[in-house]
Structures are given as structure tokens and as C-alpha cells.
Structure 1
Amino acid sequence: MSAAGSPEVRVRLFAGAAAAYGADDATVHGATVEAAIADLLEGASAEARTVVGRSSLLVNAVACTDPGRTLADGDRIDVLPPFAGG
């Protein structure tokens, strides 16, 4: 569980990530991207953990590959699962 006083962050899940998680939006707490995703996945299904783990993340609409990136109150993480298209 997240530490008291951690920033409140909105998470939006798209496509397969939303389906696996069971919702397309969540509010979590975490001082870093890694902590916020851990809070999101606490109690989540194995399928949700797998899909989110393979997903690309955007923080405030900018691609984020650094799980240690610091978050602030009101930040938004978008979870974009891998997809195929033609």
C-alpha cells in the first residue's frame, strides 16, 4: 500500500489494459511512476498485472520509460497496451 502523503495520481487505462483491469480509470497514490503502478495493481488479477506490465506509459501525455520518475498531485498516467494494426 502506498505511503501516507504520496501524491494522488489519475490513471487511465486503454483497450486491453482496461478490459483486464476491469475499469478504464483509477485514482492511485505514489511518489514515483513505479509506486503508482504498484498501487494500481495491488489486488489486481494476474491478467491485469501482465497486460499493464507490457504496456507503454505516458505521464501527462509524454512517453515515460523511467519507473523512478517523480510524480506530483494531479499528474496523469495513461496505460497503453501493445496493439497490432494493419
Structure 2
Amino acid sequence: MPSSVTVRYFAGARAAAGVDTETRTAGTLEELVGQLVESHGEKLERVLTACSFLVDGTQTRNRTLVLEPGAVVDVLPPFAGG
């Protein structure tokens, strides 16, 4: 069942999405990513291919992950430097 989740964008993902944060309703990370691409377009889609995701503070690349109600999903592009 879809849940309300908060999406927070960082660095290049923020620039591509054009927003810092938004609320979405999605059942899985894959469903959420599909919504984000549909809403924000090709520029964000390209960035998302290199991004990792933190779901409630835990890093994942598992797109089948079920999102719990109230989850916070951080979209993190690779960072340059060290």
C-alpha cells in the first residue's frame, strides 16, 4: 500500500529537481523514482542513475524496498573531492 514519504534532494539532484524537498505517496523506492522522473524530467532521470538513496538513514540501492509511512528518502548524487 502506498505511503506518504518525504524526499530530500542534495547537490546535483537538488539542481535537477528544482526543489529541496517534497512529499510523495509511493509503495516502493522504484515507484517513487518513477514518479520523480515523471514529474521532473530527463535531467533528473540522468542524475538518478548515479545516485544512492538513504531511506531513514540507511543507504540502499534496492529499488524494490518497501517504503514505510513517514519514511524520509534522501537522494544523494556522487560527491567529488574527499
Provide TM-score, normalisation by structure 2: 0.91
Q: How many residues align?
A: 82
Residue 8 of structure 1 corresponds to which residue in structure 2? 4
Residue 54 of structure 1, aligned match among 43, 50, 57:
50
| Runs (5+) with no aligned partner, structure 1 | none
Q: Percent identity?
A: 38
Provide TM-score, normalisation by structure 1: 0.87
CA RMSD of aligned residues (A): 1.2
1:35-77 deviation per Cα after TM superposition (whole angstroms, max 9, x unaligned) = 1111222231211111122101010010012110111110011
Residue 31 of structure 2 corresponds to which residue in structure 1? 35
Q: Secondary structure at the match of 2:32?
A: helix
| Runs (5+) with no aligned partner, structure 2 | none
Cα displacement (A) at 1:25: 0.4
Residue 18 of structure 1 corresponds to which residue in structure 2? 14
